[in-house]
Amino acid sequence: MAEAAIELIGIDKSFGTVRANRDINLVIERGTIRGIVGENGAGKSTLMSILYGFYQADSGEIKVGGKPVSIKTPNDAIALGIGMVHQHFMLVQNFTVIENIILGAEDEALLKRSIANARSELERLEREYGLEVDPDAVIEELPVGLQQRVEILKALYRGAEILILDEPTGVLTPAEADHLFRILKQLKDQGKTIVLITHKLREIMAITDTVSVMRQGTVVATRETAKTTVEELAELMVGRRVLLRVEKGEAKPGEVKLAVDNLTVRDSRGVTMVDDVSFDVRGGEIVGIAGVAGNGQSELIEAISGIRKAVSGTVLLDGKPIEVTGQADPGELRDRGLAHVPEDRHYVGLVLAFEENENSILGYHDKTEYLKGPFLDIDAIRADAKQKIEKFDIRPANDRLKTANFSGGNQQKIVLARELEQNPGVLVVGQPTRGVDVGAIEFIHKQLIAMRDRGKAVLLVSVELDEIRSLSDRILVMFDGRIVGERGPDATEGELGLLMAGVERQEAAE
């Protein structure tokens, strides 16, 4: 057996009454890729945060390279050769790649020499690991896949021998993810140790050597990847059997509910994000928009739901226009039966500082049933919220709890409950299961299918290709602001992956 890179012995961590980690024992061998899977709230991130010095364990011991260590801050972790690539990148958006890489590792007050040193070091790293990035590019102009590479370079630049990646593929195309995996394999071959935190079981199967499953703060199992199956891991994660494929019947498309015609949207910097896009969504079908994050899907659904102004084009809701290029009012669109589950539930779909019941009327707070004159009818609002909590099994079942204290899956259920219970004719939904645990994903998918089966039109945007494929009746692929192809639900991942990478279009152009 290989030598241990990291040993965690009896790690315990509580937040108040919640024991986020209990008695965790984990040995990660040098030069291997270890997967850590588990639902949200299973304690993966807490454990990694302890390892990276964000938190201290209440008890337990950490050994790095066989020696007991005390990691009090991320700087201690870095000094021990532990690097972390966060799910949400920690990059300064308007700095260049090289400025980001030396950030916090500058040698002296003046930057000139640090930058020169970094440049030669960076060239070496890029050569060695195939991590090409233009060092002078500004971060905000780079695609997400490259931004992630910058994060990895940052860790390597600081001499990381152990690299922790937290949900690294959430924002990548299948091709970019494959590239990332190749990089990780290369790093492994060079003797680096990699810890991959993810909820995507297929990735675990594809790349890891061993996998540990966490549930409710403990490691419930560690398996050699070659000797386990996706089904077994899913069962270990949730503690019961899970339906991984969504069961649904044939779609019965009806009338066109939502018609998008030649829609063009620019972002705040004037870059065209949605370029002359046209499509229809009929009642009784789910139309999925596949694509790598940042190819205009977000702007598309924001324009349709009246949050972002479009430059040109028309959108018809039940045959009547939405003023997408003018003063479209999301409130009015709700009255007309268009519900929107936004991609970003933390800052758009919810007000995290509000009590649950306050969020359960967000956007519908104009409805007379929630009001008594100019006053909120608190009793009615709370009764309504309790009903939704019951129906959508939102936990904890406390409508007075601050929304920030719900888990990701339950927060998403709060949004869904609010939007679906208004019985809209059209549902526009972005990333419905991002950061949501397996059990809740199953529930959310069932709800979306039920919407469809009631004859509603559903427009689904997701970067999870599996989700698009299992839910959609038709799949549109977006690349660089355009719809580059339409496929049926039986399209293969490879086929969609190529479209998402814009391959077909480039070939056609040549």
Partner 1 sequence: MSNPYAKLPAWADYGLIPLINLIVAFIVAGLVVLLVGENPFRAAVILVEGAFGSGTGLAYTLYYATNFIFTGLAVAVAFHGGLFNIGGEGQAYIAGLGVGVVCLAFDHVLPWWLTFPIAILGAAAVGALWALIPAYLQAKRGSHIVITTIMFNFIAASAMVYMLVDVLKPRGSMAPQTRQFVEGAQLPKLGWFLSEFGLTVRPSAPLNLSFLLALLMAFFVWLLIWRTRLGYEIRTMGFSPKAARYAGISETRIIIVTMLISGALAGMMALNPIMGDQHNVSLDFVSGAGFVGIAVALMGRSHPAGIVPAAILFGMLYQGGAELAFEMPNISRDMIVIIQGLVILFAGALEHMFRPWVQAAFASLSPRTVGVAQPKGERA
Question: Contact with partner 1 (CB under 8 A): which of 16, 270, 319, 488?
Answer: 16
Of 359, 471, 483, the residue nearest 421 (C-alpha): 359
Nearer to partner 1, 106 or 377 (CB): 377
Looking at 30-58, which runs of residues are DSSP E strands? 33-38
Of 156, 202, 205, the residue nearest 183 (C-alpha): 156
The residue range among 129-137, 144-152, 368-376, 493-501 that interacts with partner 1, by the rule CB under 8 A, is 368-376
- 216: contact with partner 1 by CB under 8 A: no
Least distance CB 90 / partner 1 (angstroms):
10
- 135: contact with partner 1 by CB under 8 A: no
- 253: contact with partner 1 by CB under 8 A: no
Find the helix or strand (DSSP H, E) in which 61 lies.
strand 59-64
- 383: contact with partner 1 by CB under 8 A: no
Least distance CB 86 / partner 1 (angstroms):
8
- 88: contact with partner 1 by CB under 8 A: yes
Question: Contact with partner 1 (CB under 8 A): which of 31, 174, 337, 435?
Answer: 435
Nearer to partner 1, 425 or 455 (CB): 425
Q: Please give the radius of gyration of the chain, using alpha carbons only, rounded to the nearest integer.
A: 24
- Binding to partner 1 (CB under 8 A) within 163-192 occurs at none
Of 464, 432, 449, the residue nearest 201 (C-alpha): 464
- 374: contact with partner 1 by CB under 8 A: yes
Distance CA 369, CA 379 (A): 11
Distance CA 464, CA 169 (A): 10
- 307: contact with partner 1 by CB under 8 A: yes
Least distance CB 34 / partner 1 (angstroms):
19
Per-residue b or e along 39-61, where b marks 16 or more CB atoms closer than 10 Å to that residue's CB: bbbbbbbbbbbbbbbebebeebe
Nearer to partner 1, 43 or 83 (CB): 43
Looking at 157-201, which runs of residues are DSSP E strands? 162-166, 193-198
- 44: contact with partner 1 by CB under 8 A: yes
Distance CA 156, CA 164 (A): 11
Residues that bind partner 1 (CB under 8 A): 14-18, 20, 39-46, 49, 54-55, 86-88, 305-307, 329-334, 340, 342, 344, 346-354, 358, 362-363, 365-366, 371, 374-376, 378, 404-408, 435, 437
